Amino acid sequence: MTQPLDWDTVYVSDAPPPWDIGRPQPVFLRLAESGMLSGHLLDAGCGTGEHTLMAAAHGADAVGVDVSPAAIARARAKAAERGLSARFEVGDALDLGQLGMTFDTAIDSGLFHVFDDEGRGRYVTGLASVLRSRGTCYLMCFSDLQEGTMGPRRVRQDEIVSAFSDGWTVNDIVAAEFVVNSGTVTTGRSAARAWLATIRRQ
């Protein structure tokens, strides 16, 4: 796999990881404000929980899952501080069936692009096992249009379509941006080019 062996190391260092900006990504905030992040919602690879908490604040029954116990501990602390009822679980995104739950909506902010080809297949299979029929996944990943080589693997639109070809409908893929901690993955810029895909479970 192309992901780090120990995700905890990035959450216990003095500096936050590039993607942990202390607030939701603007793209997902707009989705929440438009009422798209609703029902029983899964935030796969939730990190310290900003998107899960945002969805809960907008009325979703939100569950965040991350492989890092350190990230989940911070997410639970945030939920308690903010008085939000979001649920957080330590779990492997490559084995989402272990959750024993099903969801109406799933969000993925920067998880898909960490997997190699074999991992992508396992991840999509796991999503299919927990997302209800006609449920929607909103997935944002690094774009192949991003310059340079720093940061995660770049993803082409056709790779997204191919990964979600069996039992899914890719409704839309649009250009978007990740806000990042300045200088960490984009040679000094505070944003990185991304794709936002809207994918429907058949």
Q: Where are the domains of the chain?
A: 8-201
Distances in Å between the alpha carbon of 107 and those of 74, 170, 186? 19, 14, 23
Q: What is the mean pLDDT of each run of 10 residues along the chain (202 residues)?
A: 62 82 96 97 97 98 97 97 97 94 97 95 97 98 91 93 97 96 57 96 96
Cβ neighbourhood burial of 134 (10 Å; 0-12, 13-18, 19+): exposed
> Is the domain defined by 8-201 classed in CATH 3.30.470.10?
no
In this structure, what token pair is assigned to residue 62?
């939100």
**Distance in angstroms (rounded) separating the CA atoms of residues 174 and 14:** 34
C-alpha distance from residue 113 to each of 42, 134, 171 (Å): 18, 24, 19
Residue 109: its pLDDT value, please? 97
pLDDT computed for residue 11 by the predictor: 85
Written as six digits, the tokens of 133 are 């029929």
